Structure 1
Amino acid sequence: MAAPPLPGFLAHLAPLLGHYGYLAVGVVVFVEDFGVPAPGETILLAAGVYAGAGRLNIVAVAVIAFVAAVAGDNIGYLIGHHGGRAFVHRWGKYVFLTPKRFQATEEFFDRHGGKVVTAARFIEGLRQANGIIAGTTGMRWRRFLAFNALGAALWVGAWSTLAYFAGSHLTAIYDEITRYQVYVLVALGVLVAALVVRHVVRRRRER
Protein backbone atom coordinates (compact mmCIF):
# COMPACT_ATOMS: atom_id res chain seq x y z
CA MET A 1 0.00 0.00 0.00
CA ALA A 2 1.37 3.42 -1.00
CA ALA A 3 2.03 5.88 1.77
CA PRO A 4 -0.50 8.73 1.90
CA PRO A 5 0.77 12.29 1.37
CA LEU A 6 1.42 13.95 4.70
CA PRO A 7 -0.20 17.37 5.12
CA GLY A 8 1.77 20.60 5.41
CA PHE A 9 4.14 20.69 8.36
CA LEU A 10 4.39 16.88 8.48
CA ALA A 11 5.60 16.38 4.90
CA HIS A 12 9.32 16.42 5.77
CA LEU A 13 8.85 13.34 7.96
CA ALA A 14 7.54 11.17 5.11
CA PRO A 15 10.94 9.61 4.18
CA LEU A 16 11.82 8.83 7.81
CA LEU A 17 8.43 7.39 8.69
CA GLY A 18 8.02 5.61 5.37
CA HIS A 19 11.38 3.87 5.71
CA TYR A 20 11.52 3.06 9.44
CA GLY A 21 7.84 3.04 10.45
CA TYR A 22 7.26 2.15 14.09
CA LEU A 23 10.98 2.32 14.89
CA ALA A 24 11.04 5.98 13.84
CA VAL A 25 8.10 6.77 16.12
CA GLY A 26 9.70 5.07 19.11
CA VAL A 27 13.20 6.50 18.71
CA VAL A 28 12.16 10.10 17.95
CA VAL A 29 9.64 10.30 20.81
CA PHE A 30 12.14 8.65 23.17
CA VAL A 31 15.09 10.98 22.51
CA GLU A 32 12.92 14.12 22.51
CA ASP A 33 11.80 13.41 26.06
CA PHE A 34 15.22 13.86 27.64
CA GLY A 35 16.15 17.05 25.86
CA VAL A 36 17.33 16.04 22.37
CA PRO A 37 15.79 18.44 19.80
CA ALA A 38 13.70 15.93 17.87
CA PRO A 39 10.17 16.24 16.36
CA GLY A 40 8.42 13.87 18.76
CA GLU A 41 4.97 15.41 18.56
CA THR A 42 5.02 15.83 14.79
CA ILE A 43 6.12 12.27 14.12
CA LEU A 44 3.31 11.04 16.37
CA LEU A 45 0.86 13.08 14.29
CA ALA A 46 2.38 11.81 11.04
CA ALA A 47 2.14 8.20 12.26
CA GLY A 48 -1.51 8.82 13.14
CA VAL A 49 -2.19 9.99 9.57
CA TYR A 50 -0.44 6.91 8.21
CA ALA A 51 -2.52 4.72 10.50
CA GLY A 52 -5.72 6.40 9.33
CA ALA A 53 -4.78 5.49 5.76
CA GLY A 54 -4.07 1.87 6.75
CA ARG A 55 -0.30 2.15 6.43
CA LEU A 56 0.32 1.59 10.17
CA ASN A 57 -1.68 0.13 13.04
CA ILE A 58 -2.99 2.90 15.32
CA VAL A 59 -2.86 0.71 18.45
CA ALA A 60 0.78 -0.17 17.79
CA VAL A 61 1.61 3.49 17.16
CA ALA A 62 -0.03 4.53 20.43
CA VAL A 63 1.60 1.78 22.52
CA ILE A 64 5.08 2.42 21.10
CA ALA A 65 4.77 6.19 21.54
CA PHE A 66 3.50 5.79 25.11
CA VAL A 67 6.34 3.44 26.14
CA ALA A 68 8.93 5.66 24.43
CA ALA A 69 7.54 8.82 26.08
CA VAL A 70 7.57 7.34 29.58
CA ALA A 71 11.04 5.82 29.11
CA GLY A 72 12.47 9.04 27.67
CA ASP A 73 11.15 11.15 30.52
CA ASN A 74 12.64 8.71 33.03
CA ILE A 75 16.05 9.11 31.39
CA GLY A 76 15.56 12.84 31.82
CA TYR A 77 14.63 12.30 35.45
CA LEU A 78 17.84 10.35 36.05
CA ILE A 79 19.91 13.08 34.39
CA GLY A 80 18.33 15.72 36.61
CA HIS A 81 18.47 13.60 39.75
CA HIS A 82 22.14 12.68 39.48
CA GLY A 83 23.57 15.76 37.82
CA GLY A 84 21.13 18.64 38.05
CA ARG A 85 21.26 19.35 41.78
CA ALA A 86 25.05 19.67 41.87
CA PHE A 87 24.95 21.89 38.82
CA VAL A 88 22.34 24.20 40.38
CA HIS A 89 24.21 24.48 43.68
CA ARG A 90 27.45 25.30 41.90
CA TRP A 91 26.21 27.72 39.25
CA GLY A 92 22.74 28.76 40.40
CA LYS A 93 23.99 31.79 42.33
CA TYR A 94 25.00 33.44 39.07
CA VAL A 95 21.32 33.51 37.99
CA PHE A 96 20.08 34.34 41.51
CA LEU A 97 18.99 30.76 42.20
CA THR A 98 20.36 30.50 45.72
CA PRO A 99 20.23 27.24 47.73
CA LYS A 100 17.38 28.78 49.77
CA ARG A 101 15.33 29.58 46.68
CA PHE A 102 16.10 26.20 45.22
CA GLN A 103 14.82 24.56 48.39
CA ALA A 104 11.57 26.51 48.08
CA THR A 105 11.30 25.31 44.46
CA GLU A 106 11.83 21.73 45.59
CA GLU A 107 9.07 22.00 48.19
CA PHE A 108 6.73 23.59 45.66
CA PHE A 109 7.42 20.89 43.09
CA ASP A 110 6.95 18.16 45.67
CA ARG A 111 3.52 19.56 46.48
CA HIS A 112 2.29 20.60 43.01
CA GLY A 113 4.68 18.74 40.73
CA GLY A 114 2.13 16.13 39.69
CA LYS A 115 -0.04 18.75 37.98
CA VAL A 116 3.02 20.32 36.32
CA VAL A 117 4.34 16.97 35.04
CA THR A 118 0.97 16.03 33.56
CA ALA A 119 0.32 19.39 31.88
CA ALA A 120 3.92 19.83 30.66
CA ARG A 121 3.49 16.94 28.25
CA PHE A 122 1.34 19.18 26.01
CA ILE A 123 3.64 22.22 26.06
CA GLU A 124 6.60 22.58 23.71
CA GLY A 125 9.80 23.13 25.67
CA LEU A 126 8.39 21.86 28.94
CA ARG A 127 7.77 18.47 27.36
CA GLN A 128 11.48 18.06 26.65
CA ALA A 129 12.64 19.36 30.05
CA ASN A 130 9.90 17.76 32.14
CA GLY A 131 11.84 14.82 33.52
CA ILE A 132 15.06 16.77 34.03
CA ILE A 133 13.26 19.42 36.10
CA ALA A 134 11.49 16.78 38.19
CA GLY A 135 14.76 14.97 38.87
CA THR A 136 16.66 18.15 39.69
CA THR A 137 14.05 19.40 42.15
CA GLY A 138 13.97 16.07 43.96
CA MET A 139 10.43 14.98 43.10
CA ARG A 140 9.87 11.44 44.34
CA TRP A 141 10.39 8.99 41.48
CA ARG A 142 7.22 6.94 42.02
CA ARG A 143 5.10 10.08 42.06
CA PHE A 144 6.85 11.35 38.94
CA LEU A 145 6.35 8.00 37.20
CA ALA A 146 2.61 7.96 37.92
CA PHE A 147 1.93 11.51 36.72
CA ASN A 148 4.34 11.17 33.82
CA ALA A 149 2.52 8.04 32.64
CA LEU A 150 -0.82 9.85 32.96
CA GLY A 151 0.45 12.80 30.92
CA ALA A 152 1.96 10.49 28.29
CA ALA A 153 -1.28 8.52 27.96
CA LEU A 154 -3.33 11.70 27.51
CA TRP A 155 -0.82 13.19 25.06
CA VAL A 156 -0.48 10.06 22.93
CA GLY A 157 -4.20 9.37 23.01
CA ALA A 158 -5.18 12.91 22.04
CA TRP A 159 -2.73 13.49 19.19
CA SER A 160 -2.77 10.01 17.66
CA THR A 161 -6.59 9.91 17.68
CA LEU A 162 -6.84 13.41 16.19
CA ALA A 163 -4.37 12.55 13.40
CA TYR A 164 -6.02 9.19 12.75
CA PHE A 165 -9.42 10.73 12.06
CA ALA A 166 -8.40 14.13 10.66
CA GLY A 167 -6.10 12.89 7.91
CA SER A 168 -5.45 15.59 5.28
CA HIS A 169 -7.40 18.15 7.33
CA LEU A 170 -4.90 17.87 10.20
CA THR A 171 -2.90 21.01 9.35
CA ALA A 172 -5.83 23.38 9.76
CA ILE A 173 -6.96 21.71 12.99
CA TYR A 174 -3.46 21.60 14.47
CA ASP A 175 -2.81 25.26 13.63
CA GLU A 176 -6.00 26.22 15.43
CA ILE A 177 -5.07 24.18 18.51
CA THR A 178 -1.51 25.50 18.73
CA ARG A 179 -2.81 29.06 18.45
CA TYR A 180 -4.59 28.58 21.76
CA GLN A 181 -1.65 26.68 23.24
CA VAL A 182 0.16 30.01 23.73
CA TYR A 183 -2.66 31.26 25.95
CA VAL A 184 -2.59 28.00 27.90
CA LEU A 185 1.17 28.36 28.42
CA VAL A 186 0.77 31.95 29.66
CA ALA A 187 -2.06 30.91 31.99
CA LEU A 188 0.02 28.02 33.34
CA GLY A 189 2.97 30.34 33.93
CA VAL A 190 0.79 32.78 35.84
CA LEU A 191 -0.70 29.93 37.88
CA VAL A 192 2.73 28.52 38.78
CA ALA A 193 4.01 31.98 39.72
CA ALA A 194 0.96 32.57 41.91
CA LEU A 195 1.41 29.23 43.66
CA VAL A 196 5.10 29.93 44.30
CA VAL A 197 4.33 33.38 45.73
CA ARG A 198 1.61 31.91 47.94
CA HIS A 199 4.00 29.22 49.16
CA VAL A 200 6.72 31.78 50.00
CA VAL A 201 4.27 34.07 51.81
CA ARG A 202 2.89 31.16 53.81
CA ARG A 203 6.39 30.09 54.90
CA ARG A 204 7.20 33.61 56.04
CA ARG A 205 4.01 33.81 58.08
CA GLU A 206 4.76 30.47 59.71
CA ARG A 207 8.14 31.79 60.81
Structure 2
Amino acid sequence: MHFDHWLATIPAVGVYLVVAGVVGLESLGIPLPGELVLITAALLAGRHTGVDPLWVGGCAGAGAIAGDSAGYAIGRRYGRRLFERAGRRFPRHFGPEPLGRAERLFARRGAWAVFLGRFVALLRILAGPLAGSLRMRYPAFLAANALGGIVWAGAMTLLGYYLGVAAERWLSGFSWLALLLAVLTGGATVVLLRRTR
Protein backbone atom coordinates (compact mmCIF):
# COMPACT_ATOMS: atom_id res chain seq x y z
CA MET A 1 0.00 0.00 0.00
CA HIS A 2 1.33 3.42 -0.93
CA PHE A 3 2.02 5.86 1.95
CA ASP A 4 -0.49 8.42 0.59
CA HIS A 5 -3.24 5.81 0.55
CA TRP A 6 -2.35 4.69 4.07
CA LEU A 7 -2.55 8.28 5.36
CA ALA A 8 -5.91 8.73 3.67
CA THR A 9 -7.31 5.73 5.59
CA ILE A 10 -6.72 7.39 8.98
CA PRO A 11 -10.03 8.82 10.21
CA ALA A 12 -9.99 12.57 10.83
CA VAL A 13 -11.00 12.08 14.47
CA GLY A 14 -7.94 9.86 14.96
CA VAL A 15 -5.70 12.61 13.58
CA TYR A 16 -7.26 15.18 15.93
CA LEU A 17 -6.85 12.89 18.95
CA VAL A 18 -3.21 12.14 18.12
CA VAL A 19 -2.44 15.85 17.71
CA ALA A 20 -4.13 16.77 21.00
CA GLY A 21 -2.54 13.84 22.84
CA VAL A 22 1.04 14.26 21.64
CA VAL A 23 1.02 18.06 22.04
CA GLY A 24 -0.58 17.69 25.48
CA LEU A 25 1.97 15.14 26.68
CA GLU A 26 4.84 17.23 25.34
CA SER A 27 3.47 20.28 27.16
CA LEU A 28 3.15 18.19 30.33
CA GLY A 29 6.92 17.76 30.28
CA ILE A 30 7.41 14.54 28.31
CA PRO A 31 9.84 15.06 25.41
CA LEU A 32 7.72 14.15 22.38
CA PRO A 33 7.69 15.67 18.87
CA GLY A 34 4.52 17.74 19.32
CA GLU A 35 5.43 20.36 16.74
CA LEU A 36 6.30 17.69 14.16
CA VAL A 37 2.98 15.91 14.72
CA LEU A 38 1.09 19.20 14.41
CA ILE A 39 2.82 20.20 11.17
CA THR A 40 2.33 16.69 9.73
CA ALA A 41 -1.40 16.83 10.51
CA ALA A 42 -1.62 20.30 8.95
CA LEU A 43 0.16 19.01 5.84
CA LEU A 44 -2.34 16.16 5.75
CA ALA A 45 -5.18 18.70 5.94
CA GLY A 46 -3.66 20.48 2.94
CA ARG A 47 -3.95 17.25 0.92
CA HIS A 48 -7.80 17.33 1.04
CA THR A 49 -8.09 14.11 3.04
CA GLY A 50 -11.10 15.17 5.09
CA VAL A 51 -8.89 16.52 7.88
CA ASP A 52 -9.95 20.07 8.74
CA PRO A 53 -7.10 22.48 9.53
CA LEU A 54 -9.31 24.40 11.99
CA TRP A 55 -9.84 21.23 14.01
CA VAL A 56 -6.13 20.40 13.82
CA GLY A 57 -5.20 23.83 15.19
CA GLY A 58 -7.97 23.73 17.79
CA CYS A 59 -6.94 20.31 19.07
CA ALA A 60 -3.28 21.35 19.20
CA GLY A 61 -4.18 24.50 21.15
CA ALA A 62 -6.39 22.56 23.56
CA GLY A 63 -3.69 19.93 24.07
CA ALA A 64 -1.06 22.62 24.69
CA ILE A 65 -3.20 24.46 27.25
CA ALA A 66 -4.29 21.29 29.08
CA GLY A 67 -0.79 19.77 29.06
CA ASP A 68 0.87 22.93 30.34
CA SER A 69 -1.76 23.30 33.06
CA ALA A 70 -1.20 19.71 34.19
CA GLY A 71 2.56 20.31 34.08
CA TYR A 72 2.05 23.44 36.20
CA ALA A 73 0.12 21.40 38.79
CA ILE A 74 2.82 18.72 38.89
CA GLY A 75 5.54 21.36 39.12
CA ARG A 76 3.72 23.13 41.93
CA ARG A 77 3.39 19.91 43.93
CA TYR A 78 6.63 18.07 43.13
CA GLY A 79 8.69 20.46 41.02
CA ARG A 80 11.38 21.42 43.49
CA ARG A 81 12.21 17.77 44.23
CA LEU A 82 12.03 16.81 40.54
CA PHE A 83 14.34 19.65 39.54
CA GLU A 84 16.75 18.85 42.38
CA ARG A 85 16.88 15.22 41.24
CA ALA A 86 17.35 16.32 37.63
CA GLY A 87 20.01 18.78 38.85
CA ARG A 88 22.06 15.92 40.30
CA ARG A 89 21.89 14.02 37.03
CA PHE A 90 22.13 17.02 34.68
CA PRO A 91 23.77 19.85 36.68
CA ARG A 92 24.49 21.90 33.60
CA HIS A 93 20.78 22.21 32.76
CA PHE A 94 18.98 21.80 36.09
CA GLY A 95 21.62 22.64 38.70
CA PRO A 96 21.39 25.52 41.19
CA GLU A 97 22.83 28.09 38.79
CA PRO A 98 20.45 27.44 35.83
CA LEU A 99 17.46 27.17 38.18
CA GLY A 100 18.51 30.43 39.85
CA ARG A 101 18.54 32.14 36.45
CA ALA A 102 15.14 30.66 35.65
CA GLU A 103 13.73 31.88 38.98
CA ARG A 104 14.96 35.40 38.29
CA LEU A 105 13.57 35.29 34.74
CA PHE A 106 10.17 34.08 35.95
CA ALA A 107 10.15 36.68 38.74
CA ARG A 108 10.70 39.48 36.22
CA ARG A 109 9.03 38.15 33.09
CA GLY A 110 7.03 35.08 34.07
CA ALA A 111 4.10 35.54 31.71
CA TRP A 112 6.38 36.38 28.77
CA ALA A 113 8.58 33.38 29.54
CA VAL A 114 5.53 31.09 29.41
CA PHE A 115 4.16 32.72 26.23
CA LEU A 116 7.46 32.74 24.31
CA GLY A 117 8.44 29.33 25.71
CA ARG A 118 5.70 27.82 23.56
CA PHE A 119 7.83 28.62 20.48
CA VAL A 120 11.11 27.08 21.78
CA ALA A 121 11.34 23.27 21.93
CA LEU A 122 13.01 22.80 25.33
CA LEU A 123 11.06 25.61 26.98
CA ARG A 124 7.82 24.20 25.56
CA ILE A 125 8.50 21.03 27.55
CA LEU A 126 9.59 22.78 30.77
CA ALA A 127 7.43 25.93 30.93
CA GLY A 128 4.51 24.40 32.84
CA PRO A 129 6.44 22.40 35.44
CA LEU A 130 8.96 25.21 35.92
CA ALA A 131 6.27 27.87 36.38
CA GLY A 132 4.50 25.67 38.94
CA SER A 133 7.67 24.88 40.82
CA LEU A 134 8.59 28.57 40.96
CA ARG A 135 5.10 29.38 42.34
CA MET A 136 4.00 31.63 39.50
CA ARG A 137 0.43 32.82 40.09
CA TYR A 138 -1.91 30.46 38.23
CA PRO A 139 -4.17 33.14 36.64
CA ALA A 140 -1.12 34.84 35.07
CA PHE A 141 0.24 31.46 34.00
CA LEU A 142 -3.10 30.39 32.49
CA ALA A 143 -3.47 33.63 30.50
CA ALA A 144 0.06 33.40 29.07
CA ASN A 145 -0.28 29.66 28.51
CA ALA A 146 -3.62 29.97 26.69
CA LEU A 147 -2.49 32.86 24.52
CA GLY A 148 0.82 31.15 23.69
CA GLY A 149 -0.88 27.83 22.94
CA ILE A 150 -3.47 29.41 20.64
CA VAL A 151 -0.97 31.57 18.75
CA TRP A 152 1.57 28.72 18.42
CA ALA A 153 -1.03 26.15 17.30
CA GLY A 154 -2.59 28.57 14.83
CA ALA A 155 0.75 29.65 13.35
CA MET A 156 2.10 26.09 12.99
CA THR A 157 -1.18 24.84 11.50
CA LEU A 158 -1.31 27.65 8.94
CA LEU A 159 2.35 27.12 8.06
CA GLY A 160 1.92 23.37 7.60
CA TYR A 161 -1.37 23.68 5.74
CA TYR A 162 -0.19 26.26 3.22
CA LEU A 163 3.16 24.49 2.74
CA GLY A 164 1.20 21.32 2.00
CA VAL A 165 -1.04 23.05 -0.54
CA ALA A 166 1.94 24.71 -2.23
CA ALA A 167 4.02 21.52 -2.23
CA GLU A 168 1.19 19.47 -3.72
CA ARG A 169 0.71 22.03 -6.49
CA TRP A 170 4.44 22.19 -7.16
CA LEU A 171 4.98 18.43 -7.02
CA SER A 172 2.02 17.69 -9.29
CA GLY A 173 3.55 19.99 -11.93
CA PHE A 174 6.99 18.56 -11.23
CA SER A 175 5.83 14.97 -11.71
CA TRP A 176 4.77 15.73 -15.31
CA LEU A 177 8.04 17.54 -15.88
CA ALA A 178 9.99 14.62 -14.39
CA LEU A 179 8.09 12.15 -16.59
CA LEU A 180 8.79 14.26 -19.68
CA LEU A 181 12.47 14.51 -18.71
CA ALA A 182 12.67 10.74 -18.15
CA VAL A 183 11.09 10.02 -21.55
CA LEU A 184 13.44 12.47 -23.31
CA THR A 185 16.47 11.06 -21.48
CA GLY A 186 15.43 7.51 -22.32
CA GLY A 187 14.87 8.45 -25.97
CA ALA A 188 18.24 10.21 -26.17
CA THR A 189 19.97 7.21 -24.60
CA VAL A 190 18.39 4.83 -27.16
CA VAL A 191 19.45 7.11 -30.02
CA LEU A 192 23.04 7.37 -28.68
CA LEU A 193 23.29 3.60 -28.17
CA ARG A 194 22.14 2.93 -31.73
CA ARG A 195 24.65 5.39 -33.17
CA THR A 196 27.58 3.86 -31.28
CA ARG A 197 26.98 0.39 -32.71
Structure 1 residue 111, shift from structure 2 partner: 2.6
Give the corresponding residue for 2:149.
152
Matches of 2:38 and 2:99, distance apart in 1 = 35
Structure 1 residues 65 and 87: alpha-carbon distance in aligned structure 2, compared to 1, 3 A threshold: closer
RMSD: 3.1
Matches of 1:165 and 1:146, distance apart in 2 = 28
- Residues 1:38 and 2:35 are matched in the alignment: no
Structure 1 residues 160 and 88: alpha-carbon distance in aligned structure 2, compared to 1, 3 A threshold: closer
Bigger radius of gyration among the two: 2
- Uncovered stretches (5+) of structure 1, i.e. residues with no partner: 6-13, 171-207
1:113 pairs with one of 110, 114, 123:
110
Give the corresponding residue for 1:64.
59
1:18-49, Cα deviation, whole Å (9 max, x unpaired): 36321111111111111222221011101111
Matches of 1:72 and 1:91, distance apart in 2 = 20
- Uncovered stretches (5+) of structure 2, i.e. residues with no partner: 168-197
Paired residue type of 1:60? W
Structure 1 residue 90, shift from structure 2 partner: 8.3
Matches of 1:60 and 1:157, distance apart in 2 = 10
Structure 1 residues 89 and 50: alpha-carbon distance in aligned structure 2, compared to 1, 3 A threshold: closer
Give the corresponding residue for 1:54.
48
Give the corresponding residue for 1:25.
19
Structure-1-length-normalised TM-score: 0.65
Number of residue pairs aligned between Structure 1 and Structure 2: 159
Structure-2-length-normalised TM-score: 0.68
Structure 1 residues 4 and 165: alpha-carbon distance in aligned structure 2, compared to 1, 3 A threshold: farther
Matches of 1:93 and 1:30, distance apart in 2 = 27
Paired residue type of 1:22? Y
Give the corresponding residue for 1:97.
96
